[in-house]
A and B are shown apart, each in its own frame.
Chain A
């Protein structure tokens, strides 16, 4: 798979460049460079293959050039400013929700109050590291199911910031959440959809996951960055994101499938035959390295677990302590959907979790339908793998899948009415879902 050549007018002459960065470098040195052409090319560098996220395969340079626009300062301000506003708004809403249920609410206790369920495990992990076997508490479940990257990051930050762990982790989460929204801009490139995405992540119904000590926020940031790298056909950067993803949550290891899918689509777009795909990959050193780099985080964690407790698969085996058994995901889904309430019409927790999975699968189907195969493939596996261990935490897993949420906001962003309703819904839901979270509502766990 050879590098594509780009042909652009530069200084009144037409040249062929191996890549756009070479073009820009050359053009910048030429006094006769037309400023608009340079601006267009720089914009293009952010998305050298056109709007991949919009489901297009390879397009001609000419047709892609039509979409090039210089980025206005107003747009930059909007892209940077909107998430900042929602970040503050989300914090305020969640604090008000917390204050409404705790008469002794204080700002100092706020981060700790939101730290429930797995968050407690992560705090312990950041402070004390991984359990030996037997675990110090002499309980079945060691903390091996919790992947290391975010706790390690917080553990390192603790060394530099003398503050309680949960405060450091909350600060880190908020910064990462802001970064995750910014990172999504190249995938959306539509202010209305971007507005909704920023609101969803930073002050939406599930913003709690992205503002306390859960790995979801880092997962979203890395997955988004990985897809942006894929959009730019930077396989090594995408693989690096994959490596970090696979050290963040187990499903991150499947980002390698997205890389392979994108490579396959590129191969086909160049006229390559299906049978020639493997030889074509083997001829590309960067792709070969990407394939082995992407799952590295998981393998490093496995090697650590083998050294630490003698079981490289402890992160999976320990699920037995939570009575989770690997089974047929569709069967789990069916059981969840058919666990009707004893009385009334409010769906049971199992039904709510199953509906979250169904929604995720529906959005995945839309991704496939719109030929966003790498994102669809990654999302599908990220739904089916946890579903094979039951419905637990399915809501959290769905909302932390950037391709699904980006697809959703893109659909909603087409209608002004939907945008207004969704925004209002997000803000109201942030408040009430925070109260539900603090009350231990199981669907949100």
Chain B
């Protein structure tokens, strides 16, 4: 065999190299896509950037203004449409918050004025965490705080100004932030932190 013939790649080798090159390009392009996700903002915040423990889903928020919705087992059907994220259960004693933020969404009639939000909450406490703080906002506007230092159920009433509803007409998006949420076991993920149990919620004209 001459030197030229020996060094010249066979047509099969050329085809294999070409195929390998095409695969390499495809895989590089896919890696580039992986580094440049185009997913919606809520998805990015929860899954990719991990800036929230609460995946903000577009729940319908079906709700009759002025009614009290139970977040115990007996009210699960009504509560389902209001629970956006950051909740688990209901268990016998209420729906448990999970993570550092929990959200509720209420559909309200257009043109409604100031509203009064009533939340019945009980704190989740451990030996190392003697109190819980809940910072409440409506459509991104801070409306108040709730603080508890025992495990009893407490009722909190907060006023939501009509101006706060302007950013999302027809809906009241309630965010409950738990700056003192606790990990129940070492190594628990931040999405498993506990802070409160929600027993009932009500939204009515102020």
Contact A292 B47 (CB under 8 A): no
Most buried by B among A293, A313, A332: A313
Given A292-B20, A299-B30, A302-B30, decide whether A140 and B46 contact each other with a Cβ distance below 8 A.
Answer: yes
Contact A310 B40 (CB under 8 A): yes
C-beta contact mask, B1-23 vs A, less than 8 Å → 1, else 0?
00000000100111011011001
Given A289-B23, A293-B23, decide whether A323 and B17 contact each other with a Cβ distance below 8 A.
Answer: no
Complex: how many Å from CA A311 to CA B38? 6
Chain A residues, Cβ within 8 Å of B37: 306, 310-313
Q: Report A8 CB to chain B, min CB distance, Å.
A: 23
Query: Does A363 count as interface, using CB distance less than 8 angstroms?
Result: no
Contact B9 A311 (CB under 8 A): no
Complex: how many Å from CA A296 to CA B22? 11
Query: Does A320 count as interface, using CB distance less than 8 angstroms?
Result: yes
Given A138-B59, A310-B38, A335-B186, decide whether A133 and B43 contact each other with a Cβ distance below 8 A.
Answer: yes
Which residue of B is nearest A288, CB measured?
A: B20
Q: Report B42 CB to chain A, min CB distance, Å.
A: 8
Contact A288 B17 (CB under 8 A): yes
Interface size on B, residues (CB 8 A): 37
Which residue of A is nearest B188, CB measured?
A: A323
Query: Does A295 count as interface, using CB distance less than 8 angstroms?
Result: yes
Q: Report B182 CB to chain A, min CB distance, Å.
A: 15
Contact of A311 among B12, B14, B47 (CB under 8 A): B47
Contact A285 B9 (CB under 8 A): yes
Of the stretches B50-58, B106-114, B135-143, B147-155, the one at the interface is B50-58
Q: Report A124 CB to chain B, min CB distance, Å.
A: 19
Chain A residues, Cβ within 8 Å of B58: 134, 138
Query: Does B163 count as interface, using CB distance less than 8 angstroms?
Result: no
Contact of A295 among B27, B57, B188 (CB under 8 A): B27
Q: Report B22 CB to chain A, min CB distance, Å.
A: 9
Q: Report B91 CB to chain A, min CB distance, Å.
A: 17
C-beta contact mask, A275-311 vs B, less than 8 Å → 1, else 0?
0000000000110110111011001001100100111
In chain B, positions 144-195 with a C-beta closer than 8 Å to chain A are 186-192
Contact of B33 among A139, A288, A303, A332 (CB under 8 A): A303
Query: Does A317 count as interface, using CB distance less than 8 angstroms?
Result: yes
Contact B23 A292 (CB under 8 A): yes
Q: Report A407 CB to chain B, min CB distance, Å.
A: 31
A residues near B (Cβ < 8 Å) are: 133-134, 138-140, 285-286, 288-289, 291-293, 295-296, 299, 302-303, 306, 309-314, 317-318, 320-321, 323-325, 327, 331-332, 335
Beyond contacts A140-B85, A288-B17, A311-B47: 10 other A-B pairs, Cβ-Cβ < 8 A, are A140-B55, A293-B23, A299-B30, A303-B26, A306-B33, A312-B34, A313-B34, A320-B189, A323-B188, A323-B192
A selection of 10 A-B contacts at a CB cut-off of 8 Å is: A133-B43, A139-B57, A285-B9, A296-B27, A302-B30, A310-B38, A311-B38, A311-B39, A312-B33, A320-B191
